[in-house]
Every structure is written in structure tokens, then in C-alpha cells.
Amino acid sequence: MSAVDLFTPVRLGAVELPNRIVMAPMTRSRAGAGNTPTDLTVEYYRQRASAGLIITEATQVSADAQGYPDTPGIHTVEQAAGWRRVADAVHADGGRIFTQIWHVGRISHPMFRPDGSQPVAPSAIAARGELYAGAAGMVPFPVPRALETAEIPAYARLFADAAKRAVFDAGLDGVEIHAANGYLIDQFLRDGTNARTDAYGGSVANRARFLMEVTEAVSHAVGAQRVGVRLSPNGTFNDMKDSDPAALFGHVAEALNPFGLAFLHVIEGIGGPQALPEGATPVAPLLRRIFKGPFIINGGFTREAGDAALANGDADLVSFGVPFIGNPDLVERFKRGAPLNEPDRGTFYGGAAKGYTDYPALEPVEA
């Protein structure tokens, strides 16, 4: 039997994938009026339909879930209609697409919130650093308001409502719950941001409670076979830390098993900016052993490193972020061993077609 590689088909919950090359979620800050996907959004994802699975940029579950300019939502009829056009275009070109659903929690500013109120979080602990507030430039992260215990279940329902809109109104194939990179769910998980003394704070089981309630609500709404979860156990982005990532995320992986999710997606870089922080112990191998469903690994992978990770059994699929920005036909380039286009970092966030939909694909090979 030949070894599994990036081109071995695989089933992920409700969807059958022709390859194991996943497009990682990437915020591109190009949504139109009303934070709605535009014609360019449709074209961008359509160009990348040969990915085994596309996971879209993070998408707001509610009007108060935003923390960056021009990021799309999935809480209005117009937004769902915009995502319907994206889903239809990707499907017409033979692809599959999940959307990543998020609430940013403390990584926000009153200017992004419809009523101008303070951002919310598990605890009133501000992130160190600054955020980009459009015309106001860079401003310090504000101190968030700690959610009351009684308010929290409504936030889980926001994720479930967003998932329903994504799957039933927009026709997307599923959703990825964004529990990584220091946003609301991750803020509940890690003890650097969660100092609560109620049922949502303290022990690892209590800190995982919000993620479990979100996963339960979303799975109930659209079926667990259309739901994935993304985690970043060792990530430090957005001023995140935890005193014992292995204990916390080991518990999370175990507690997610009974849902029968489509996948678990873990960021634990092997190179580049997402590399493991110095001195950190890798947690992905532990999660791989504990989690019973399909396991996606991400962070600094090349084609060769991806094939090696699959052959070693470190993961079932590999997701690629930056390589998909510059290479709409990344799958074909990997297949042919062709060189990759260099991504233009100056156009990662914001702007229009430049650096978004204008990267060249390879010429087709003569039959």
C-alpha cells in the first residue's frame, strides 16, 4: 500500500475531498458595504476552488463581533446572499467551502461596535498592544467588559444562528468555529485572559465550557458533520498565554470527541511567524493522539513538509495559508512541482483586486 500524501482523497464529515490540501482561513479586509462579500470575494474564492477544502476568512457572527475594518459578517440577509454567490461559484468549479465563524471579544474597539460600547470578554483584561482603528490609526486595545454569567449562553446561540445562515441560507458546506488566535472563545480557554470565578473560569473544564456550549449549539443547528473547530494551543498572537497548554488543550480535544465533528484544525507552526514560541512544548502531537476524528495541521508547511506530516501520521490533512494568497492554483503547482508566486505582504489586508485576484495561474498543460 502506498503512503498517504497530499493527493490522497479523504472524507471530512459530510464532504468528500479529492485532496488533502486545505486553504487556511485568512482575513483579507475587503468586504463591501454592510460587511458583505463582493464580486471580488466571489472571484477570489472561485480561483481557489481546486483546494481540497476552502475555509474562508473569519466571518462575524453578529454586528458586535467585529474587530477589524471591512471584515465580512454572516448575520444579515444581504451577507448570506453574498456568501451564497461565493458558495455557488466555488461549487460550480468543483470545490468545497466552509466559513470560519468568529467573535473577536476583547480584540476590538467601541468604534467597531454598533452601539459604541466597550468590547466584551471573559474578564476585564486588556490585550497589550494596539489595534488598527481605520482613520484613527493605531490605538491601544481598550479594557473589555467582563460578561455576566447570564449573558454567556446568548453568545453560543449567535454562533449557532450564524452557522444556520451559512449552511441553509448561503449554501456553504459547513463552518469552522474559530477558537484560535486570541479571539472570544480562545479568551475563555486560556488562563491569561480568563480570571472568572463562575462556571466558565478556573478549572480547564470550566474554561472549556464556553467552547463546548458553542460546539453543542452549532452541531445541533447544522449537524456535527458540517462543523470543525480551530485551536492554537501555543499561539501568542493577540497577547495570549496559558499556564499549561497541554493540560487545557488535551482536555478540549477529549471533550470534543463525542460530537463527531468533521475535523479538528490545529495551528502549531513548524516555521515562519507561526513557529512554536521559544521554549514551548509542542501540543499538536498530543491532540493528534487524543482526537478521534480528521486532524488538520497548519503553520509554515511546504509541499514536502506536508507530505511528510501525512506519511508520518502527524495529521490527516494540511492547511496552507500564505501559499494560497499568491497561488490560486496551489494544488496544480504542488502536483507539477512548479515554482510558487511570491505573495505581496503589502496587500494582505485591505484594498481591491491587486494582491487579491490578480496572481497568475500556470498555463494549462497541453493534453
Smallest separation, CB 325 to ligand FMN (Å): 7
Return d(Cα 227, Cα 64) in angstroms, integer: 23
Expressed in angstroms, the distance from the first to the final Cα of the chain is 29
Smallest separation, CB 202 to ligand FMN (Å): 27
For 62-106, give the DSSP string.
SGGG--STT--BSSSHHHHHHHHHHHHHHHHTT--EEEEEE--TT
Smallest separation, CB 29 to ligand FMN (Å): 9
| Residue with nearest beta carbon to ligand FMN | 321
The interaxial angle of helices 204-222 and 152-164, nearest 10 deg, is: 30
Smallest separation, CB 104 to ligand FMN (Å): 10
Kind of pairing between the strands at 130-132 and 138-140:
antiparallel
**145 vs 237, which CB is nearer to ligand FMN?**
237
- Do 338 and 332 contact (CB within 8 A), yes or no? yes
**267 vs 310, which CB is nearer to ligand FMN?**
267
Return d(Cα 305, Cα 323) in angstroms, integer: 13
**294 vs 299, which CB is nearer to ligand FMN?**
299
Place of cell 454567556: 152
Catalytic residue among 44, 183, 200, 356: 183
Chain residues binding ligand FMN by CB under 6 A are: 24-27, 57-58, 100, 178, 180-181, 230, 267, 272, 274, 298-301, 320-323, 348
Return d(Cα 189, Cα 187) in angstroms, integer: 5
**132 vs 348, which CB is nearer to ligand FMN?**
348
Instruction: Decide if 44 is catalytic.
Output: no
Q: Which residues are catalytic?
A: 183
